[in-house]
Structure 1
Amino acid sequence: MTQSALERLSQDAIIICFDYGLARIGVAIGNMLTKTARPLRIISWKTNEQKWKEITSLLSEWTPAAIVVGVPRHADGEPNSMTATCQKFANQLEGRFHLPVVREDERFSSVEAERENSGADYIDDEAAAVILEQWLRRKEQ
């Protein structure tokens, strides 16, 4: 997403975030006004058709102004086995929905989400909220 597209986001714009995985996608929702995010849901998927149907439904329901996608890397910043897959997912979102898509470094989001939600079976939605809040905090600087 270009800097000018980021600058055009309204004060009360809704932002949706995806923490992409091969079996589950964590989803969080936030807004520019409060600079906060909350877990929304986890999409469990087995087929591309199912995945895109669920994502389309969420985007129709929430009508976000932009999308944030967590892009994982190793601690040293080098790409890991999921980096290219998440980049591809972000590209597909742009192509399908014609919304600005931010790729956000998610190196430590799962660690933080696990610390805050120990004992939970799945924390993908919590990790998405961590990723989105990280982006929102950086955005306000």
Structure 2
Amino acid sequence: MSNTVKQALAFDFGTLRIGIAAGQSITGTATPLEPIAARDGIPNWDQLAKIISEWTPDALIIGIPLNYDGTISDMAYRARKFANRLHERYKVPCFLMDERLSTAEAKAIHFAAGGSDNFKKESVDGIAAQLILESWFNCDIRIPSHTRLEDVYDLKHA
């Protein structure tokens, strides 16, 4: 799959903000973009359409926030629903990626760069999306967004 995906966008789903990063498979790197506001997880679809139109991605990657023990969280189901809505609206292949600890790692990167702990002013959502996308580029497993989460992620029952 990575041979056909040249440009991708990743999303760190949240109920108030959705982090976004753009990257390319050739280098396996990504760059955080400005997050977009959301109302109870629903983004401004026009703003999102503009970003997708501007970047013309071959794939959209959505982070799935599993619980630390590998079980499926309520937010994981909401993130998958968001992924499927992206797929329906933009007709771009959407994939899921385990994003456990991405926010913690994003905060560490932010603090190391001299950032404050005021995350409302200095969002780390784009950095989290960057980490999600770079992980996806380095992973051989591709999980389409329509896949049932229980079929791949309920590690507690595996």
TM-score exceeds 0.5 = yes
Which residue pairs with 1:60 in the alignment?
53
Amino acid at match of 2:128: A
Distance apart, 1:41 and its partner CA: 1.3
Q: Provide the rounded CA distance (Å) in 2 between the counterparts of 1:47 and 1:83.
A: 14
1:113 aligns with 2:112: no
Distance 1:74 1:58, change over 3 A: same
Distance apart, 1:7 and its partner CA: 5.3
Which residue pairs with 1:89 in the alignment?
82
Map Cα deviations across residues 29-88 of structure 1 (whole Å, 9 max, x no partner). Answer: 000111101101110133888621111010000100000000100111101120110010
SS at match of 1:138: coil
Q: Which runs of 5+ in 1 are unaligned?
A: 1-5
Which residue pairs with 2:4 in the alignment?
9
- Percent of aligned pairs sharing the same letter: 35
Q: Which has the higher helix share?
A: 1
How many pairs does the alignment contain?
133
Map 1:25-44 to 2 at 5 A.
Answer: 25-44=18-37
1:136 aligns with 2:137: yes
Q: CA RMSD in A?
A: 2.0
Q: Provide the rounded CA distance (Å) in 2 between the counterparts of 1:114 and 1:7.
A: 28
Q: Which runs of 5+ in 2 are unaligned?
A: 142-158
Q: Provide the rounded CA distance (Å) in 2 between the counterparts of 1:26 and 1:89.
A: 13
Distance apart, 1:9 and its partner CA: 1.1
SS at match of 1:117: helix
Amino acid at match of 2:17: R
Amino acid at match of 2:4: L
Q: Provide the rounded CA distance (Å) in 2 between the counterparts of 1:69 and 1:138.
A: 14
